[in-house]
Structure 1
Amino acid sequence: MTELLTPASEAEAADIIAGHAASGTPLALCGGNTRTGFGNPVAAAARLSSSALSGIVAYQPGEMVMTAKAGTPLAEIEAALAENGQFLAFEPMDHRGIMGTEGTPTIGGVFAANVSGPRRFALAGAARDHLLGSRFVNGRGEVIRAGGRVMKNVTGLDLSRLMAGSHGTLGFLTEVTFKVLPAPKAAATLIVSDLTEEDAVKLMAAAMALPLEVSGAAHLPYSVRAAFLGGALAGDAATCFRLEGLAESVSARLEKLSAYAGPFGPLTRLGDDETKVLWREIRDVAPYRDGTLRPLWRVSATPSEAAHIVGAMRLEAAVDAFYDWQGGLIWMRMDGAPEAESLREKLMKHGGGHATLMRAAPEVRALVPAFEPEDPAVAALSARIRQKLDPAGIFSPGKMQRQENAA
């Protein structure tokens, strides 16, 4: 059984890591264990968790910047922000449903995995775009401070952003500093019913090109529709557009979007409360919180090619899917084998992208590369960075297969 280590201080974490580096003993890093079972298995006798490094260190709402220890529960962060009418604009998803875990999401885990939700493609950017600074312990057991409380133009390597998306392979995060934004006062969703997947992708692209500041665009085919809003979505398929901001602005933009989308299919409008529920379910991949280990892929694709990729896969395998990010993000579940080679071939044929295996049975994860294979030049650069930060290779034993920019 893997031992779980929970240091109560940064110094204690540094001592543990230094000891493992000296002996060359692999060490798996984690936050609240919500993504256990993700990625290719690595042999490690112990897991080092940041869960005991908890607490908000500094928060000045007027500056819209917060510093927190890496193990601080995400719920605590969001509650403190909500009290001041602020939020994490990149709306990090909760992986527990699809991964079948029971841990506690932490702010350090969010940045270590670069977790971003439906607003990622439109206005907010990824989690790493909000990270201003960090403290972490490298593979030598040295404490590194990178960045600060303000965003500056700098030369050289941005270590904080490098840590974002590294999945615990470069260092053990102990503290993060990040920017926050005012929360929208109102939200609404326009749903266009009964579109084919090809037509939905086209309409999402057209709507995003309008000057209406759409903050979410997703298509939910008939096969997944019942998983949202308790099955209350109208029609055989739902193409969803979210608008946020001041109430008057949301209302005016909703009227303009409705006028534009009306000719494409029946329209339904959702108010603020239903909008929050729907987009939380989209964010957390509600259809595939199914308690199984059926292979689940997170596919980043060219939006205009999304429906073609899914259609091509359906000719070869039993596939279920829905679309976020205007089609740029496909959540795809396989009912049989993961079909990794076929999926990645079709991605290359249809505009490029990357496919990340989020979930599968352990014996499958041992054989199928979870992350898109890196370009040789990128792989060489990644290896040099890992050699500098983790020369003993205790954070990433064996051949490391990952895509740090799998945002």
Structure 2
Amino acid sequence: MIFRIVFLCVILLVIELYTFQVLKTLIKSRPVLFSIQIISLLVLVYIVYSLMQFDRNSGQTKQLMVVMGLLLIVYVPKLILTFILMGEDIFRVGTGAVKYFVNYDKNADFLNSRRKFVSQIGLGLAAVPFLSLIYGVTIGKYNYKVIKQRIFFPDLPDAFDGFTITQISDVHSGSFDNPEKINYAIDLVNEQNSDMILFTGDIVNTDAKEMHPWIETFNRIKKHEYGKYSVLGNHDYGEYITWPSEAAKEDNFKAIKDLYGQIGFKLMLNEHTFIEKGDAKIALIGVENWGHNFKKAGDINKASQHVNKEDFKILMSHDPSHWEHEVQHHEKNFHLTLSGHTHGMQFGIEIPGYFKWSLAQYVYKQWAGLYENVGRYVYVNRGFGFHAYPGRVGIMPEITVIELKKGVNVA
């Protein structure tokens, strides 16, 4: 832990050095430059001190989220400045080397003075993530979007043609700080008037107590005609802090499972049920968390033990890597999998229908939205809440409405 802190300090000091060079090039007033340096130093000391106070017995706290937000807001723009100035340094040294060794100019300057326009360009580019990250923590984290997705299946029972499902995921209630915004989101959920609602895990960050102030709010989610169902996410197992005893960890896990029932959802633990409409039925299957790089408690074979290959099946599985590694080629043919988990890393660029990018795509092949393989689909919800970074930029909190349609997608 100490080594990591020291390494981080060295990186931050290098970034501060390059940032100072930009400011020195553009700001000629010594008092202003000195004031900026003092503020930067105080911010750096606060961040380092707060990180050193991190306690695995407590896990993520509101203060830690503030620190993470401050770290990104302050140092992502400065990191961009650093890369630009490093690039300029490489060019300056390269130019000097050519003059000295190729042109035999013995007076060649290997580090001639910085060009003002480079610093101006760097500052302009750095302003983009700076303003975006501020937007993310003030507005973006509660900028809920209702995303509607129609999916066609040739073998969907006729009675379920037009059946609608609202999906929410990754609530992370321990991160919330604005009751008005959460109530607004619950109103959006209710306005969809779907036939069924599914919650694909992560009701808390770690501790069951995080949800207690929000139980009444989430109990406002109205009853849906065909039920309210949920599964667990990786954070629901309480494995990211150090517990005083194994018994305390188990008590917390039991309390987290109980939370789902307290807000009116049937928690499915490696099991299935049949949703019946008229004389037709579809199978709803819910597994515990199964992640390629996370806890593997999900047992898809156990959950679907008495489900036939011919049955139309909807699977709830928190982590989309489960679909990638086990579900999409499973012999029982799971028609639609609903997942979450990635949050789209809460940072990216989306132009619906045209362009979608996030660092999440370098970790997960399926990270936001709908994906298909030989007629089997997975939908990855971008998440209802937020975690670690207390904001969202480009990848907004999502309420999904999926409409099942019988037929073939001709698009």
TM-score strictly above 0.5? no
TM range (shorter): under 0.3
Normalised by the size of structure 1, how large is the TM-score?
Answer: 0.23
Larger fraction in helix: 2
Q: TM-score, normalised by structure 2?
A: 0.23
Higher normalized strand content (fraction of residues): 1
